[in-house]
Amino acid sequence: MSENKRYRQTIVGFNRPWTLVATERGVSELIYPPEVAAQAGFEEDYSQLPEASGLFEQFGIVERLERYFAGEPVSFEGIPLDVRGTPFQTSVWTGLNQISYGKTLTYKQFADALGKSSAVRAVGTAIGRNPLPVVLPCHRVVGSNGTLTGFRGGLQMKRDILALEGVTSMSAAGHDRFRF
């Protein structure tokens, strides 16, 4: 294995395949099921990456994601990550871990919690580029009126993920998804 080389592993969530991508340093991406990924604009052919199930098991991500998709409260804390983004983006992405399982924050509340009150739109843009949905829980950030908005996997996927966590009172509003 090579440190910069990327590897893949398929897992099942919501009875559909998701693709995990990692380097030897850590998990770098979680790609939606193929039909959702295509709608969200993911065009890379991840099937060409070599499989490395042992690497993902070593990171502890497969077992946690399987438990998560089975409806168990799971923390992804301690999973080695190798996400690529600007310093601002990575600060937003890692900040998503501050939002507890089964809880939501508005974009403004989240920006305030990060100390980036004047950058709500920039925070929202960074959230929209999150390469590890579920693991870095961008689905827990909602519109200012407490409704679902802005999820690349589509609002139904966001609703389904939140429902797994017991959040079932959200209604849809705004944009179905953002493409970046």
Q: Can you tell me the distance from the alpha carbon of 84 to that of 79, in angstroms, rounded to the nearest whole number?
A: 16
Per-position DSSP letters for 49-72, written without gaps between them: SPB-HHHHHHHTHHHHHHHHHTT-
Question: Residue written as tokens 């966001």?
Answer: 158
CB 25 within 8 A of CB 56: no
CB 174 within 8 A of CB 141: no
Q: Can you tell me the distance from the alpha carbon of 161 to that of 163, in angstroms, rounded to the nearest whole number?
A: 5
Q: Where are the alpha helices (DSSP H) in 104-154?
A: 107-113, 120-128
Positions annotated as catalytic residues are: 138
Beta-bridged to residue 141, according to DSSP, are 105
> Phi/psi class of residue 61: alpha, beta or left (left: φ > 0; alpha: ψ in -120 to 50)?
alpha
